[in-house]
Amino acid sequence: MYLRLLLFYSLLLPSALGHIPSSFSHDVRCLLEFKKGIVSDPSGLVLSSWTPPRPPESNYSGASAPACPSSWHGVSCDASGTAVTAVSLDDLGLGGEIKFAALAGMRLLGDLSLSGNFLTGRLVPALGSLSSLQRLDLSGNLFYGPISGRIAELWNLQHLNLSCNAFSGVFPTGFQNLPGLKELDLRSNGLSGHIGSVLSEMRNVEYLDLSGNEFYGGLLMESGNLSSLANAVKYANLSSNKLNGSFFSSDSLRLFRNLEVLDVGNNQLSGELPSFDSLRNLKTLRAGRNQLSGLIPEELFGSTMPLTELDLSGNRFTGYVRTINSTTLKVLNLSLNALSGPLPSNLGSCVSVDLSKNILSSDLSVMQHWGESLEIVDLSSNALSGSIPNDIPLCRSLISIKISNNSLAGSLPSVLGSCPKLSDVDLSLNKFTGPILPSLFMSSTSMNLSVDQFTGPFPLQGPHSIESLVLPSYNHLESLDLSDNQLSGSLPPEIGSLQRLKLLDLGRNALSGELPSEIGELDGLEFLDLSVNHFKGRIPEMPQRSLEVFNISYNDLSGPVPQNLQRFPRSSFHPGNAFLILPDDTDALEDNTRSAQHSRFRTSIWAAIIVCSFGAVMLIVVVLLAAQKMWFKEYCGKNEFKGPAIIRDANPLRFDLHYTHNSEAKDSLPVPISFSCKHLLASSSRSTSRQGDLVTNTAECSYSKYGSDSAFLELGELKNFPSTIEYKSSLGLPLPSAPHYIDSHLTEQPAVWHVGSPDRLVGELFFFDDSLVFTADELSRAPAEILGRGSFGTKYKAILDCGHVLTIRLLHSGLLKQQKEFAREAKRIGTIGHPNIISVRGYCWGPTEQGRLIIADYANGYSLADYLYESTPGRYSQVSVSQRLKIAIDVAQCLYYLHDRGLPHGNLKPSNIVLKQPDLTAQLTDFSLHCLMARRGTAQQMLNSRALGYQAPELTTASNPCPSLKADIYAFGVILMELLTRRSASDIISGRVGAVDLTDWIQQYVRQGRAGECFDKDIADGEAATKVMEELLAVSLRCILPVKERPNIKTVIEDLQSIAI
């Protein structure tokens, strides 16, 4: 076969090289043909030097050109000068489509290196004829397509680097035939295949990098399939793939006796880590961003291993980290786990330690025993308390300290101001008090002391502090965030000396005085927030073109806005600043000025009016209240009012609710009830809600009680407003606790909702892209309609002036993460872009907890819960077996998209699945909102999920339950059962069908051989339909297995797609 291929290429090459003179050697002709594919050469080194050689002077006509063009750039020849041995064209910016077939037959070519260019093309089988090739480096280009299996015929290959290209397809077989291969780098491509099969192909590879591909499968392999690779490999990087299943077993790990670096981060590996005692050469272990759990093996912190870097972040490890005894460990990252207990008493020789986002609980006194080698420490988002000790030996070497989002208190110790290298400080979201130390800024480049309780003047103020701060050697500050404190006094003109400043956030303090003109000298400033203070006077000229975010709202500034700042939206200046002149505010300013000039006169007039009218007004109020009390008593005594009871949650909008029972609209009078709180959305629309099965039985007493006192309900009264609501399922069973119906059916009340016009939106809007951008004023004008309430908050439908329809969710106050972490998680959610996952467009962060919104596209359609459980005949079309299977596949594919990015949905239920007409395409809504919640909010959601029957059993017993990928699988299995039976989990919880919950009920029938009796009788007609439902039931049962046996979503999709209709 090999000889026939050589014969083929020997016949092919003459035609390919037909236009090149035959007097040139074979290698020269191959290179000239290869050169034709290069169309761009910025340096000119190749196109200018790779010119056809002229034959030497000779007296006879048979003279020929040199056999090897050693003068060509990047070309090397053998000792005899007769053959090309290497072509190295790295990092020249070359562009074009390379024809590797042109190089076929270059018998002594041992090194082909084209890395760091913009070359494209396919790796054709002809490359397999370069039998002398020892090194092939095509990294950092645009090559695409599959890797030809003939590459395994390069018997002498030692180094193969195809990284950072666009190769795709299944990893080829045959690499076991390359015993000399020492280095294999395929990172950052789109290659796939089972990782077990790939690793078993390796023989003597010492350097293996398969990261950034789509390899899948687990690492639990037979030792015999790993022995050849394990004996040789020193560096193994399998990170950023789609690996799932378990980690290597202890027996397998023992084989990796030479392993120095192991990186399996950013996958979906689960289970516990084995013992690492046998890996005596391991220096780096990275397994972050997986789903590993259990205790961390103690030997990883001990002195028996030469470990220098350990990254186990983003997993589910539990237990304590008592001490670090290793003398070699330098970098330790255990963030984003469930570690508890006190801080470790000793950190050994660590240089960088990240223990953030755990549940560590202790004071910081242990820091006095940490070594002087520590340079970077992050303890953010734990449950730490107490104060920072004043005696910290590590201060001499400390570069970065982050202890944000804890419960630390007290004043800042002076020792922090004496750390000579300290450049990055984040102590935000704590309870620190007292003044801010000016010395803390001496060497800092980034300082975040926001959301604390600091008092006193701006820290650069004062004759002593400012002299040292403005010295050129200390002018390093680039980011300064002192927002949400209690700072007072003025902003000193010396602020202009901080020339490197890019971010300055002083919002929500008590600063006053005029803004110094020197603020306009901060040439690199990109972010400036001075909102919610008491600044007055004019805005100084700010010519910076670098400024991207600007906010001075809620101050007392006046005068014209400088020209360069007029590009920012009105929300940057208003509310507040009543006398500030924008281009379209001239008339308003004149009115305000005239009002100011006559204020004394108006005050006198109004005083007289008030005094004269007070008695009359009080008399009218008393009469009206008495009349209203009598009216309510008479009306409610007849028991004719049957409108819906007020939901207990405080409403962020001001609504004038006129409840009218549809069946008695002609006879019943509307009962006006209005209430008000901090308004976030403006609405000026009337929306007639759909009918449903909501029945109230205590509304009359509630209205009688409160109506007798006042028609206006304060927020505090509303929270205690009594109501009892009973829901009915499609089977006629009462559902006394069915929170998912509150989500999806709240608007299905027999009532007409009149939505009044509240105040304008208070807060700052943040968008994740520029495809849809609007101002706070536009959102405030948008007509709004309540869609429902759930564990995360209240949802509204809003229509912008442009006609775009949005879903606005007001998040429950007191349940959210702090602003910085909230913004980070919101941005992560905002990157999700899938056609069947409703996109999150942005969010609003207001100055109070009532001003926190999530903005998403509106899902136009009815939910799966509507289709399954609506009892009104003919309202929704019946969902067939094939449609239910398609819905299941649609939802599974959406989950796969989320899980592939490490995001659990976290609140999967039928009311969060919207079916889009005409083909009932399933769309997911309200995904991953738990990421925005603090522990209290997550716990509340877990309780709701447990009550509904969608919570995985392992979360019920967990001390700190949190949504997970495997918990999503369990909830999906329950939804599959609902699709099959048309019974809600809540139906079963009510106890009316003789079982604890839906899953137990179905499993009981399956064990008795009566599974068919569970199915929805409306569609279980015919053998074909029953077979599909039985296969679907089998998938659902696998989804609710114990967590370690539960399949991942990719396996679930494969199972669903294998079901034939």
Confidence of residue 76 (pLDDT cuts 50, 70, 90): very high
Contacts of 723 (CB under 8 A, 6+ apart): 645, 646, 647, 648, 696, 698, 699, 702
**Whether 571 contacts 846, CB under 8 Å:** no
Angle between helices 586-597 and 599-637 in degrees, nearest 10: 100
Q: What is the dihedral of CA 647, 650, 654, 656, to 10 degrees?
A: 20
Predicted confidence (pLDDT) per residue in 388-437, tens digit: 988 877 788 899 999 998 999 999 988 888 888 899 999 999 999 999 98
Among 542, 298, 451, 446, which residue's Cα sits nearest to residue 818? Answer: 451
Q: Is 249 left (phi over 0), alpha (psi -120 to 50) or beta?
A: beta
In degrees and rounded to multiples of 5, residue 13 shows phi and psi of -60, -40
Tell me what the mean pLDDT of segment 546-572 comes to: 91
pLDDT for residue 104 is more than 70: yes
Range list of β-strands (E), 229-381: 235-237, 242-246, 261-263, 268-272, 284-286, 291-295, 309-311, 316-318, 331-333, 340-341, 352-354, 359-360, 376-378
Residue with tokens 């399939």: 225
pLDDT of residue 951: 84
pLDDT greater than 80 at residue 277: yes
Alpha helices in 166-209 (DSSP H): 195-201
What is the mean predicted confidence (pLDDT) over 107-130? 92
3-state secondary structure of 939: helix
pLDDT digits (tens, 9 = 90+) for 468-491: 344 444 478 999 999 999 999 999
pLDDT reading at 273 higher than 90:
yes
Please give the Cα distance from 593 to 558 (Å, whole number). Answer: 11
Is 682:759 a contact under the CB 8 Å cutoff?
yes
Tokens of 895: 């989950």
Token pair of 1059, please? 């079901």
Work out the average pLDDT over 258-280: 94
Q: Count Cβ atoms within 10 A of the Cβ of residue 998 and give its class: 0-12 exposed, 13-18 middle, 19 or more buried.
A: buried
pLDDT band at 610; cut points 50, 70, 90: low
Tell me the residue type at 840.
Answer: V
Average pLDDT, the chain: 77
User: Three-state SS for 272?
Assistant: strand
Note every long-range contact of 40-49, with CB atoms under 8 Å and residues 24 or more positions apart, other chains counting: 40/93, 40/94, 40/95, 40/96, 40/118, 41/92, 41/93, 41/94, 41/95, 42/92, 42/93, 43/92, 43/93, 45/73, 45/74, 45/92, 46/73, 46/74, 46/89, 46/92, 46/94, 49/73
**Global pTM?**
0.58
Q: Are strands 242-246 and 316-318 parallel, antiparallel or unpaired?
A: unpaired
> Is the Cβ–Cβ distance between 423 and 446 less than 8 Å?
yes
Q: For residue range 978-994, what is the model confidence (pLDDT) as tens digits?
A: 999 988 876 654 444 44
Report the alpha-carbon distance of residue 1049 to residue 894 in Å, rounded. Answer: 10
Among the listed residues 707, 713, 741, the one whose alpha carbon sits nearest the alpha carbon of residue 725: 741
pLDDT of 886-916, one tens digit each? 999 999 999 998 998 888 998 899 989 999 8
DSSP annotation of 43 reads T
Q: 314 to each of 336, 819, 845, 876, 902, how far by Cα in Å?
A: 5, 21, 27, 43, 10
pLDDT greater than 90 at residue 658: no
Number of Cβ within a 10 Å radius of residue 730: 16
Q: What is the pLDDT of residues 330-343, one digit of tens each?
A: 999 999 899 999 99
Nearby residues of 764 by Cβ (< 8 Å), 6 or more positions away: 551, 571, 776, 844, 845, 846
**Full set of structural domains in the chain with CATH:** 296-302+314-427 (3.80.10.10), 435-597 (3.80.10.10), 607-755 (no CATH), 862-924+949-1061 (1.10.510.10)
| pLDDT tens, position by position, 836-868 | 898 888 888 877 655 688 899 888 888 898 888
Tokens of 160: 């193969």
SS3 content of the chain, % helix, strand, coil (to 5): 30, 20, 50
Q: pLDDT tens-digit profile of 329-383?
A: 999 999 989 999 999 999 999 999 999 999 899 899 898 888 888 999 999 989 9
Beta-sheet pairing, 695-696 with 725-728 = antiparallel
Residue 410 CB contacts under 8 Å (≥ 6 apart), including other chains: 386, 387, 388, 432, 433, 434
| Residue range 951-972: mean pLDDT, rounded | 85
Question: Is 80 exceeded by the pLDDT of residue 179?
Answer: yes
* Residues 416, 437 contacting (CB under 8 angstroms): yes
Return d(Cα 26, Cα 67) in angstroms, integer: 8
Q: Which amino acid is at 208?
A: L
Cα–Cα nearest to 1005, from 988, 1021, 1022: 988
How far apart CA 509 and CA 530 sit, in angstroms, is 9
The alpha carbon dihedral of 678, 680, 683, 689 has a sign of: negative
Q: How many CB atoms lie within 10 A of CB 224?
A: 9
Question: Which residues on neighbouring strands pair with residue 674, listed in sequence order?
Answer: 656, 712
Q: What is the DSSP letter of 247?
A: P
Q: Is 969 helix (H, G, I), strand (E, B) or coil?
A: helix
* Length of the chain, in residues: 1061
The string over 303-314, giving b where at least 16 C-beta atoms fall within 10 Å of a residue's C-beta and e elsewhere, is eebbbbbbbbbb
pLDDT at 945: 61
Query: Is residue 240 a contact partner of residue 214, using CB atoms and an 8 Å limit?
Result: no
Sequence-distant (≥ 6) Cβ neighbours of residue 937 within 8 angstroms: 792, 812, 815, 816, 930
Residues 779-822 have pLDDT tens digits of 877 787 777 777 677 888 888 888 888 989 887 766 788 888 88
Q: Give per-residue pLDDT as tens, 242-268.
A: 999 999 999 999 999 999 999 999 999
- Reported as a single tens digit per residue, the pLDDT across 718-768 is 333 333 223 333 333 333 233 333 333 333 332 223 333 334 566 678 888
> Is the pLDDT higher at 683 or at 1013?
1013
Predicted local confidence at residue 652, as pLDDT: 33
pLDDT single digits (tens) 932-953: 887 766 766 666 666 577 888 8
**Number of C-beta neighbours around residue 1012 at 10 A:** 13
CA-based nearest residue to 640, from 663, 672, 656, 624: 663
The tens digit of pLDDT for each residue in 55-74 reads 554 444 444 556 789 899 99
Q: For 365, what's the count of Cα atoms within 13 Å in the CB-facing half-sphere? A: 3
Q: What is the 3-state secondary structure (H, E, C) of 692-734?
A: CCCEECCHHHHHHHHHCCCCEECHHHHHCCCCCEEEECCCCCE
Long-range Cβ contacts of 91-94 (<8 Å, 24+ apart): 91/115, 91/116, 91/117, 92/41, 92/42, 92/43, 92/45, 92/46, 92/116, 92/117, 93/40, 93/41, 93/42, 93/43, 93/117, 93/118, 94/38, 94/40, 94/41, 94/46, 94/118, 94/119
Return the SS3 of 191. strand
Residue with the bigger pLDDT between 625 and 983: it is: 983
Edge-to-edge order in the sheet of strand 534-537: 385-386, 407-410, 431-434, 453-457, 486-489, 510-514, 534-537, 556-560, 579-581
Q: What angle do CA 860, 970, 692 make, to 5 degrees?
A: 40
pLDDT at residue 712, rounded to an integer: 27
Bridge partners (DSSP) of residue 419 are none
Whole-Å CA distances, 95 to 14, 42, 101, 112, 781: 26, 9, 18, 17, 53
Percent of the chain at pLDDT above 70?
74
The contacts of residue 353 (CB under 8 Å, 6+ apart) are 332, 333, 347, 374, 376, 377, 378
pLDDT at 10 over 70: no
Predicted pLDDT of residue 34? 92
Question: 922 or 1024: which carries more pLDDT confidence?
Answer: 922
Q: Quick one: how far is CA 65 from the chain centroid? A: 63
| Edge-to-edge strand ranges of the sheet holding 142-145 | 38-40, 95-97, 118-122, 142-145, 166-170, 190-194, 214-217, 242-246, 268-272, 291-295, 316-318
Least confident interval from 175-179, 498-502, 559-563, 704-708: 704-708
